[in-house]
Structure 1
Amino acid sequence: MSGRSKGLRSKSRKKLTKHPRQRGLTPVSRAVQDLTVGAEVSIILDPSVVKGQPHHRYHGRTGVIRERRGRAYVVEVRDGGAIKKIISRPEHLKVVEA
């Protein structure tokens, strides 16, 4: 018998499923949104877009945009005592209202 797969999307069934009324692709405006450096954003994974998706460990975390890298953004997130740099496309980022 083979062992259990420990791939990148393992243990994320609930996190990477959409509610029935939100199924399908998200609006294009979410992918085209222009975020400014220094803005505070939440990492909310969009399961319908796999490209540019950060690790599901950071789903729901809040961080600060440090730079733009191609179409993606570099977001600094606190993970315990360390500061991690997460590379994510704008489909998976949501601006935090102050």
Structure 2
Amino acid sequence: MGKRSRGFRSRSRHLLKKRAGTAGKIGLSRLLHNYAVNDKVRILIDSAIHKGMPHRRFHGLVGRVSGRRGKSYLVEVPISGAVKNIIVRPEHIQPLRGEGCREK
């Protein structure tokens, strides 16, 4: 038996698969959206863009923007009592809609 591969994207075949109609280039409004500090965002990985892609364990989680790192955003994600700081490019995050999304 061979040695099992354990790369960065291992076990993500179905998680990062795009549905029909969502493949192709993403819109400019998603790329150029400006997030303010304390905005709530959902981390949704776009598998077509590899730059600034977070680990698959953060896919679908909600976090809070805490700053900028160049073109990327620093997002705080609470995971099992701890707060993880993730550097994510805007292609992989979406604004969270609804009440209480922006706390001042």
User: Counterparts of 1:25-64 in structure 2 under 5 Å?
Assistant: 25-64=25-64
Q: Does 1:22 align with 2:22?
A: yes
Q: Percent identity at matched positions?
A: 42
- The aligned counterpart of 1:92 is 92
| Partner-residue secondary structure (3-state), 1:35 | coil
State the alpha-carbon separation in 2 of the partners of residues 50 and 67 from structure 1. 21
TM-score by length of 2: 0.89
Q: How many residues align?
A: 98
Aligned-pair CA distance for 1:2? 2.6
Please, which moves more after superposition, 53-62 or 21-30? 21-30
Residues 20-56 of structure 1: CA distance to partner in whole angstroms, max 9, x if unpaired?
2111121122111111111011101111111111111
TM-score by length of 1: 0.94
The equivalent residue for 1:4 is: 4
- Return the alpha-carbon distance in structure 2 between the equivalents of residues 48 and 20 of structure 1: 14
* 1:4-23 CA-partner distances (Å, limit 9, x unpaired): 11000000011111012111
Give the gaps of 5 or more residues in structure 2. 99-104
Q: How far apart in 1 are the matches of 2:52 and 2:31?
A: 11
Runs of 4+ in structure 1 deviating by more than 2 angstroms, as ranges, are: none
Return the letter of the residue paired with 1:29.
S
Whole-angstrom distance in 2 between the partners of 1:31 and 1:2? 41
Normalized per residue, the structure richer in helix is 1
Q: Which runs of 5+ in 1 are unaligned?
A: none
